[in-house]
Amino acid sequence: QGTVIRCKAAVAWEPNKPLVIEEIEVAPPQSNEVRIKIVTTALCRTDLYFLSESTTKYTFPMVLGHEAAGIVESVGPGVTEFKPGDKVIPVFLPQCRECRFCKSPKTNLCERSAGKRFSRLTCRGKKLLQFANTSTFSEYTVVNQIAVAKIDPEAPLDKVCLIGCGVCSGYGAALNNARVEPGSSCAVFGLGAVGLAAVMGCKAAGAKTIIAVDTNPDKFHKARVLGATDFVNPNDHDKPISQVLSDMTNGGVDYSIECVGNVEVMRSALESCVKGWGVSVIVGYTDMHDFAARPIQLLSGRTWKGSNSCVFCCSGFKSKDGVPEMVKAYMAKKLNLEEFITHKMTLNQVNDAIELMEQGIGIRTVLSVSPQQ
């Protein structure tokens, strides 16, 4: 405590290049900050998005990673909520509990979510940008206390790390944003971790029909395990997927959830909803293209809405409150996390994990970063 820690991290020195395992320095936590020993972290497609040179939102060098779980190593001045030894999940959507957004039940945004970027990480004399102010591809990291959630001390960190982003994003999109109702029909577009979590959320909400839509039929088995009732591969049809779903559901589904991050899929998801009351939720993240639809799609009574997910995480869950509740749900066997984990590797193998994701192999790769004890 109070000293610089030298540890291992996967550093992105430039875009579209393999990460490099380096020894870095992690400074002690400053006021209102928590230094965390990262035990496990998972690879999320958002990490790959910001590793691409197609985005200019982040600068290099940086340490990626944001879906993780760990143990508090030390705390800075002013921190009373956490103590060394606490099990925690860092969350890149903070909850200060003081701003007008945090005090409102209508959103999980926080006015401090767009706060000043900071870094307590250095390597070879250079500051390393902390991706999303978290940077979990490192044995240690420093996070503001408003972006840390304390969890059940008995929780297995190699499982609940997924709650830090993907599972909350999809699950919350169904329950909190779409507000899926019992007996309803749903379509989930994209069966990555977020989409599969959305399927699980639709089932938890009591949906009667849950149609899983993906061009990779290998993912249908996991979707079935998590609650999907029907499966559609757009490549198997010579007409628009919205028409296919309309034919299957007598005019369209009650709810559609887009988990791809493709503007054309977003429009298809909207058009797959029934007139009058259909709700389509956008979960997949992209900032590369505009999206559009004919006004009649909304004038006929459909609702098109966002989910505050993926890059912002949690889909309606206030992070410091919602993440521990999701962990409790897992501990009570009300949440299935095991089906999402298809590969287990170490931090040294992070580039292998990236290659698997780029090839569309598996759902989530969990990386062992530091021993728990």
**Could you tell me the pTM of the whole model?**
0.91
Greatest extent of the chain over all pairs of C-alpha atoms, in Å: 65
Q: Does 120 lie in the same domain as 27?
A: yes
Distance CA 214, CA 243 (A): 15
pLDDT in tens, 300-320: 999 999 876 433 344 457 889
96 and 188 together in one domain: no
In a shared domain, residues 139 and 77: yes
Same domain, 159 and 174: no
Domain match, 45 and 147 both: yes
- Higher-pLDDT residue of 110, 212: 212
Give the pLDDT confidence score for residue 309 in this predicted structure: 44
Asked if residue 284 and residue 360 are part of one domain, the reply reads: no
Domain boundary among 258, 286, 306: 306
How far is residue 301's CA from residue 297's CA, in Å, rounded to a whole number? 7
- Residues 111 and 158 reside in one and the same domain: yes
Amino acid at 68: A
pLDDT of residue 308: 60
Rounded distance, CA 254 to CA 198, Å?
15
Both 235 and 207 in one domain: the answer is: yes
Considering the chain, what is the average pLDDT of its residues? Answer: 92
How confident is the model over 267-278, as pLDDT tens digits? 999 999 999 999
Task: Please identify, among 260, 291, 306, the residue that sits at the C-terminal boundary of a domain.
Answer: 306
Dihedral angle sign, alpha carbons of residues 360, 362, 368, 372: positive
Q: How far apart are CA 272 and CA 128, in angstroms?
A: 44
Does residue 171 contact residue 197 with C-beta atoms inside 8 Å?
yes
32 and 180: one domain? no
The tens digit of pLDDT for each residue in 336-358 reads 999 999 999 999 999 999 999 99
The strand pairing partners of 341, in sequence order, are 364
Taking each helix axis from N to C terminus, what angle separates 241-248 and 263-271, rounded to the nearest 10 degrees? 30
User: Would 373 be classed as within a structural domain?
Assistant: no
Distance separating alpha carbons of residues 165 and 301, to the nearest angstrom:
31
**What pLDDT band is residue 290 in, cutting at 50, 70 and 90?**
confident
Sign of the four-CA dihedral 215, 216, 221, 225: negative
- Res. 33 pLDDT band, cuts 50 70 90: very high
Q: How many domains does the chain have?
A: 2
Question: Before 61, cis peptide (omega within 30)?
Answer: yes
User: For position 314, what pLDDT does the model report?
Assistant: 46
Q: Give pLDDT, residue 310.
A: 39
Residues 210-230: what's their mean pLDDT? 96
What range defines the domain where residue 252 resides?
169-306
12/158 same-domain check: yes
What is the C-alpha separation between 322 and 168, in angstroms, rounded? 9
Q: What is the pLDDT of residues 74-106, one digit of tens each?
A: 999 999 999 999 999 999 889 999 999 999 988
